[in-house]
Structures are given as C-alpha cells and as structure tokens.
Structure 1
Amino acid sequence: MDKVMRNKLAIFIFIAPAAILFFMIIIIPIFMSAYYSLLNWDGITTGNFVGLENYITLFTSKSIAFPKALSNVCILAVLSVFIQLPLSLFLALALARGIKGERFFVTVFFIPVLISTVVIGQLWAKIYNPDYGIINSGLNALGLNHLTRVWLGDPKTALLAVFVPILWQYVGYHMLLLYAGIKSISNDVREAAVIDGASYWQTCKYIIIPLIKPIIQVCVIFAVTGSLKAFDLIYVLTNGGPAHASEVPSTLMVSMIFGRNRYGVGSAIALCIIFLCFFFSILIKKTFKTEVE
C-alpha cells in the first residue's frame, strides 16, 4: 500500500508543474476572455456589463464583418481538408514506397514547417508582387499578360493567394505524420498483399489507408482547427484585406482589441474561435468513430 501511495505521489509531483502551467496559460485566459466578452471595455476605463450584446454585435454589425471572416475561415478549412491532406497523403504513400532518395525528399518537404511564418510571408509577398513577382513575370514571358493581376490586392484572388502559402508550409507536416504511420505498418502485411496479387495502389487503398485512419483523423483535426485559428501568415500577407476579402476571425480579433480598443468584442471573437475548434474536433472524432463502427 505504501508503495502504491509513493507511486501516486511521484506521479503527482511530475504532473503538477505541467498542470499548473496549463491552468495558468490555457484555462485562466479562457475564463478571463469569457468574462471580458460580457463587458463594454476599452482596456483602460472601467468596463460596463452588457451581457450578450457583444456576441449579437458580431453577427449584426456591418462594420465588423464577422460573418465574412467566418465564411473565409470555413473556405480555408475545406481547402485544407480536400486539397492539402490528399496531397500530403499522396506524397506520404509515394515516399513510403521506397523511392531513391526517400529520406532526402522527406526532409525537403518538411523544411517549410521549420521556417518562420514571417519569413514565409515575406517570401510569398515577393512571389505575388505585381511588378517583379515570379508569377506575373512568368505570365508575361508566356504572353499571358491578361492573366496578370495584383494577387494579394484583388478581392477575387486574395483568399486563394493566402491559402497557397499555407498549403506550401504545412503539407510537409501532415505528410510526415502520415509517412510515419505508413512506415509503422508491418512489412508482413504488405508482403501478404503482394503475394495475393495486389498492386501497390490496391494495397494502399484496401490495407494501408484503413490502417492509418487514426492518423488521418488527427491530420483532419489539425487541418481544420489550424484553419480556424489561422493568423500569422494572413496578417503578414494581407492583414485581412482588401475589403475583408481575406479576413479571418483571428485577424479581426486583433483588429478589434489593438486597433479599435474594443476588448469586449475581441474577447467574444476569441470565445467563438475556441468554441468552433472544440465543436469541429468533437464532430470529426464522432465522424471517424462512426466510420470505424
């Protein structure tokens, strides 16, 4: 009994620092944001309690454009799930096949994940530059001058132009997770499929992909929640512009708090982001659980 209690005490001692940090960095700020979201507060004077007025303002005020931000972030989430993840899965399957230079290519695809987002933003800002950017220069060289445009300054292309760097940065991250999952599958399983006459892609479809579904689930959750709280790359490239064309809740939240001193509205946006992340995480888990059953 004493040994059991000593083990429990040791576990508590090791867990306590992380639990305290988690409580201070995550839990307390969430409750503080929930409290501030019920106030009309500029960050300096005493805040006035307004109840749910800030939440109502988010969906009714045309000057805030929160519905547009939600629409944009949903588009980014859909693009991430249906373009970024399939591309990551294809790369993982191709590399796990055992091609020449396999480790080299895995490293190359993962490098963008390690680069600072600000650096990536500056890099793609140069690529999209309407005067000397590689895209417009390439189109001019091919005689397709009518296709050149101000990619980040055109409301029709700004959101898609922002998604491309996001795709470029994180496709290697999901690829590595899926690649590790594929490599963890026993060679005996693959060899048995080959002996039965299955091609490599048939093996992928009927054996490998079903076996890595838990990892695919994790990647889907990361892709969706990552899109919902996307901020840094969008802030560097467009800051939500032009005319809210690439606005997302995170950039709008920063604009409300630090640009307009509307801490209550900004905190309400933060709570909406947290709620959406929790909701979609649970929904994705339920969806994958249903498929398994």
Structure 2
Amino acid sequence: MDKLRKNKLAVCLFLLPALILFTLIIIVPIFMSAYYSLLDWDGMTKGVLIGLKNYINLFQSPSAGFVKTLGNALLLALLSVIVQLPISLSFALLLARGIKGERFFIAVFFIPVLISTVVIGQLWLKIYNPEYGILNASLRCLGLDALTRIWLGDKQTVLVAVFIPILWQYVGYHMLLMYAGIKSVSLQLREAAMIDGASSWKVNRFIIIPMIRPVLRICVIFAVIGSLKAFDLIYVLTNGGPSHASEVPSTLMVDMIFSRNRYGFGSAIALFIIFLCFFFALLIKKIFNMRGVFDET
C-alpha cells in the first residue's frame, strides 16, 4: 500500500509542471476572456460591465458581420469533411496496399504539414497572382483565358481559393493518421476475406473502414475544429477580404481587438469559438458512437 501511495505521489509530482503550464497558458486566459466578454472595453480605459450584450450583438448587429463569418467557417468545415478526408482516406488505402515507393510517397505528402503556414500562404499568393501566377498562366497556355480571374479578389471564388491551400497542407496529415490505423488492422483478417472472394472494395468497405473508426473520428474532429479556428493562412492570403467574403470568426476577432479596440466584443467571439469547438467535438463523438455508423445497413 505504501509503495502504491508513493507511486501515485511520484506521478502527481511529474504531472505538476505540465498542469501548471496548462493552467497558465490555457485555463487562465479562457477565464480572463470570459470576464472581458462581459465588458464594453477598449483595452485602455476602464471597462464597463454590460453583461451578455456582446454575445447578443454577435447575432443582432449587422455591422459586426459575425453570422457571415460563422457561415464561412462552417462551409470550410464541411468542405474539409466531404473533400479533404475522403482524399486522405483514398491515399491511405492505396499506400497501405504496399505499393512501390510507399515510404517516399508518405514523406512527400507529409512535407506540407512541416512547412510554416505563413510560407505556404506566400507560396499560394504567387500561384494565385492574376498577372504572373502559375494558375492563370496555365489556363492561358491551354487557351482557357475566359477562366482566368483574380482568384483571391473575387467574392465568388475566394473561399474555395482559400480552401485549396488548406487541403494541400493537411491532406498528408490526415492521410498519415489513417495509414497508421489501416496498418494496425490484422493482415490475416484481410487475407482471409480475399480468400473468401471479397474484392478490394469490399475489404475496404466492410473490414478496414469499420475497424479504423476511432481514427476516422479523430480526423473528423481535427478537420472540423481546425476549420472553425482557422486564422493564419486566411490572414496571409486575404485578411478576410474582399469585402469580408473570406472572413472567419478568428480573423474577425483579431480585427475587433487590435484594429477597432473592441476588446469585449472580440473576447465574446473567442469564447464562442471555444464553445463551437467543444460542441462539435462532442457532437462528432456522439455520432461515431451511434450504432450503424460505417456498418452495413
């Protein structure tokens, strides 16, 4: 009993530094933002307590434009789930079959994850440049001049143009997680199914995908939460423009706090982003825990 008590004490002592850092860096700022969100404060003068007015204004103030930014973030999350993750899963299933150069392709797909987001933003700014960008130049070479446009300056195309670099950067990240999950599936189980006459499609559909459901759940949560709190790449590419067409809650939050000096309103946006991330994480977990998900109907 004394030995067990000493082991627990040792574990607590080793966890204490991490717990202190987590509290100071994560927990304390959340509570501070919660307090600031109840104030009408410009960051300099004394704040005035206004209760939940900032949260009400998130949805009732047309000038704030929060509802539009929320719609943009949800659209990016939807695109991530229905476009990015299926592509990652397809690559993972293909590589897990043991193709030639498997390790090489894994490394190549994962390289964008290691590159700074600012560098990626600058790279895609050059690709999208309407004068010398490789995208418009390629369309002109193919005789498709009518399709060339100012990709980041057109309200109709800017959100998709922002999503493509996000897709390019993180498809390898999700692919690697799924690849690791697929490799953990028993090889004997797959071989037995193929001996019984199951095609590769059926093996993937009825054996591999259901068995990597925990990995898929994590990937969906990461993709959705990452889209809801996306900031750096959008800030570098468009800063929310043109005319707020690519604005998301995080860029609006930064604009409110550092450009308009509305610290209370910006803090309310920050708290709402945290709430959305928790809500969707719990919702996705609940959906994946339901019977029938990825099972044969």
- Normalising by the smaller structure, the TM-score range is over 0.9
**Within the alignment, does 1:209 sit opposite 2:213 as a pair?**
no
Amino acid at match of 2:79: L
**Within the alignment, does 1:222 sit opposite 2:222 as a pair?**
yes
The worse-fitting range, judged by mean Cα deviation, of 117-126 and 192-201 is 192-201
The worse-fitting range, judged by mean Cα deviation, of 122-131 and 11-20 is 11-20
The worse-fitting range, judged by mean Cα deviation, of 247-256 and 192-201 is 192-201
Please report how far the alpha carbon of residue 46 of structure 1 lies from its aligned counterpart in structure 2 after TM superposition: 0.6
Amino acid at match of 2:131: D
Q: Distance in 1 between matches of 2:238 and 2:53?
A: 29
Q: Deviations over 1:110-144 (max 9, x none)?
A: 00000000000000000000000111111111111
SS at match of 2:241: coil
**Within the alignment, does 1:52 sit opposite 2:52 as a pair?**
yes
The worse-fitting range, judged by mean Cα deviation, of 219-228 and 132-141 is 132-141
Q: Deviations over 1:247-280 (max 9, x none)?
A: 0000000000001110000000000000000000
SS at match of 1:154: coil
- Computed over aligned residues only, the root mean square deviation of the Cα atoms, in angstroms, reads 0.9
**Within the alignment, does 1:252 sit opposite 2:257 as a pair?**
no
* Structure 1 residue runs of 4 or more that deviate by more than 2 Å after TM superposition: none
Q: Deviations over 1:47-80 (max 9, x none)?
A: 0001111111221222211000000000000000
The residue aligned with 1:82 is 82
The worse-fitting range, judged by mean Cα deviation, of 17-26 and 170-179 is 17-26
Please report how far the alpha carbon of residue 291 of structure 1 lies from its aligned counterpart in structure 2 after TM superposition: 3.0
What are structure 2's unaligned runs of at least 5 residues? Answer: none
Q: Deviations over 1:207-266 (max 9, x none)?
A: 000000000000000000000000000000000000110000000000000011100000
The residue aligned with 2:6 is 6
What are structure 1's unaligned runs of at least 5 residues? Answer: none
Please report how far the alpha carbon of residue 292 of structure 1 lies from its aligned counterpart in structure 2 after TM superposition: 5.6
The residue aligned with 2:160 is 160
The residue aligned with 2:36 is 36
Amino acid at match of 1:24: L
Identical counterparts, % of pairs: 71
Say how many residue pairs are matched.
293
The residue aligned with 1:137 is 137
**Within the alignment, does 1:284 sit opposite 2:284 as a pair?**
yes
Q: Distance in 2 between matches of 1:112 and 1:183?
A: 23
> What is the TM-score with the length of structure 1 in the denominator?
0.99
SS at match of 1:121: helix
Amino acid at match of 2:243: A
Mapping of 1:85-96 within 5 angstroms? 85-96=85-96
SS at match of 2:283: helix
Q: Distance in 2 between matches of 1:167 and 1:251?
A: 19
Please report how far the alpha carbon of residue 26 of structure 1 lies from its aligned counterpart in structure 2 after TM superposition: 0.8
Q: Distance in 1 between matches of 2:18 and 2:192?
A: 45
The residue aligned with 2:173 is 173
Amino acid at match of 2:195: I
Q: Deviations over 1:177-219 (max 9, x none)?
A: 0000001111111111111111222111110000000000000
Q: Distance in 2 between matches of 1:62 and 1:134?
A: 38
SS at match of 1:291: coil
Q: Distance in 1 between matches of 2:201 and 2:107?
A: 24
The residue aligned with 1:234 is 234
Please report how far the alpha carbon of residue 146 of structure 1 lies from its aligned counterpart in structure 2 after TM superposition: 1.1
Amino acid at match of 1:272: F
